[in-house]
Structure 1
């Protein structure tokens, strides 16, 4: 089955996605800005928004940081159509508490809420809170047990569980979703344990931006892993720079690349706090790009027609949810909606 192509955005939970020192986009990760951004994205026709979870800013401790779950609840109340996807790091919330929060936001949104499980890469965020930062594969074992509990609880099942990490006795949550069996589940991460987890428990697996042939191989790998129920679906993150001509897009790419080169302090800080076993960072190191989570590595720099055609190639490969990044975000988000979305619609009807 081929699902329609959905276009989403990243909320600006920690401000700029490509370069911090951009005169065209002063740093702003405030609730006021994010509220306006998401409301405008909904009006422009975007389908979903990912609200990434960080309790402290992952780039610099003196910069503001939006809180994902309270913001997602507020966005659920303010919007009418767009899907709200809140990321969650299992080490920060007990599954009983998180499942209850998810069901409440699901009710507020009228059935438009989703969780995105991310097993954490920022050691400092966890350890400075006095929590245990487990090693890579151990985090995925923890996350798998955690997610099983959350799913059962979101479905309204009575849970009695004696596991390796959690003991839950005769727990039932009410009310459950009146719109569907439970909120949608996204999973990020590209290591072998992450792929196993996505194949077993995700509705949609998020892939970081990278060339088409890499994405095709990743999709084939996860489709080949054991799975029960409906087939897993796939999402992709990408930073978009689209202009009337390829030359204009390339000039803007070089502008952002030069600005990103000034963020040496941020890159050193992030590297010092990153678990070296995280697959995302190994993949990103292979490509020159701007933006986070693979950035422009998927090749989404070019003319409006070139970008639309590249995105349709990913759709043909199995991607049905695209999470876009821009800078300056609001201006480029509007440009994409005006010039690329109509071309995507035309290509879909061919």
Structure 2
């Protein structure tokens, strides 16, 4: 079962605006200074988490700015006091021994507020152009499974010996071990069968991309019902939110964002060409029109404050604990959500607990 009260997080703007790149109300800005101020404001407003996605080059347009996830996360860990910092990692970019040490250091800097989000990559040029190579879909997951096995054991402070197809680690131990808990949390993304098997075996949380409630229920029933060791799997959902005082105002803003997103058609087409066609994430996205990344508005969190709050509670009842949210304009709508929607969600969930 999820926690009695939903938790809310924000996507850091690591590659600028989430719905449309050519928005006069939100000029493109993926700078460190903007992301720093955004996360600090999110913490002040009461958000619980931030997700810092990892790309070495901008997935929309290589000429645009791209925040570096791990150095930025270390800085955020030092500047914040309460918010959870979840940083994505593509296993091919870091050896597991190196990454485990980095994760343990950021965990220590944050005082026990760090987590990694394991993703197995979909953007071909990012790896291929670096000479790393872009392996076939299931092969990437086989690599990721070995990789997270090594990282997990090292983050636990274990003296690690591992010999597999991809890694040969002998008598390795990292210190200091976690001073605050057993180890940092492990979030896993991806909805293919290899991804589902991996999260059931190795994850603490499964991040589900934004999609309608019946589809989310089916995913939770499938993966949540699989055999695993340790505590029950927990679930998070990505979603783009448009909440306004009236339904019509929310729909008007959605239409506005669709019109702006149409200006990015050439960039989206290029991104599609660079995407692994076996990535289930993008097959899911093709089912319906949406704005925002990682499912965006497909989750249906568009409407009046009351409508959005009720839909969040319905997802929560289905098993979603953490809602990782996007907005545009980000700062203004993030504040609106914190002030208008979160109190309604708290009120509705309190009734469920009575």
What is the TM-score normalised by the length of structure 1? 0.99
Give the drift of 1:223.
1.5
- CA separation in 2, counterparts of 1:265 and 1:166? 40
Corresponding residue of 2:317? 316
Could you tell me which residue of structure 2 aligns to residue 337 of structure 1? 338
Secondary structure of 2:175 counterpart: coil
Residue 94 of structure 1 aligns with which residue? 95
2:231 alignment counterpart: 230
Q: CA–CA distance in 2 between the matches of 1:162 and 1:215?
A: 37
1:273 aligns with 2:274: yes
Cα distance per residue 1:101-129 (max 9 Å; x no partner): 00000000000000000000001000101
Q: Which residue of 2 aligns with 1:50?
A: 51
Q: Determine the structure 1 residue equivalent to 2:2.
A: 2
Give the superposition deviation at 1:132: 1.9
Aligned to 1:244: 245
Q: CA deviation at 1:262?
A: 1.1
* Matched positions, count: 350
Structure 1 CA distance for aligned equivalents of residues 96 and 133 of structure 2: 16
Q: Is residue 2–residue 320 contact of structure 2 (8 Å, CA) maintained in 1?
A: no
Q: Give SS of 2:112's match.
A: coil
1:116-168: CA deviations, max 9, x gaps? Answer: 00000001000101102111011111101100000000011011111110001
Moved more, 132-141 or 308-317: 132-141
Say which is worse superposed, 255-264 or 208-217, in terms of deviation: 255-264
Q: Please list every run of 5 or more consecutive structure 1 residues that lacks an aligned counterpart in the other structure.
A: none
Cα separation, 2, equivalents of 1:299 and 1:201: 30
**Number of the residue aligned with 1:20:** 21
Tell whether 2:160 aligns with 1:150. no
What residue in structure 2 maps to residue 134 of structure 1? 135
Residue equivalent to 1:104: 105
Runs of 4+ in 1 over 2 A off after TM superposition: none
RMSD after superposition: 0.6
Per the TM alignment, residue 77 of structure 1 is displaced from its structure 2 partner at its CA by 0.2
Q: Deviations over 1:252-289 (max 9, x none)?
A: 00000111111012111111110000000000000111
- Cα distance in structure 1, aligned partners of 2:339 and 2:231: 34
Q: Aligned-pair distance for 1:224?
A: 2.1
What per-residue deviation string (whole Å, max 9, x for no partner) do you get for residues 73-125 of structure 1? 00000000000000000000000000000000000000000000000000100
Q: What 5-or-longer segments of structure 2 have no aligned partner?
A: none
State the distance in 1 between where 2:287 and 2:341 align: 28
Find the aligned partners of 1:27 and 1:158 in 2 and give their Cα distance.
Answer: 46
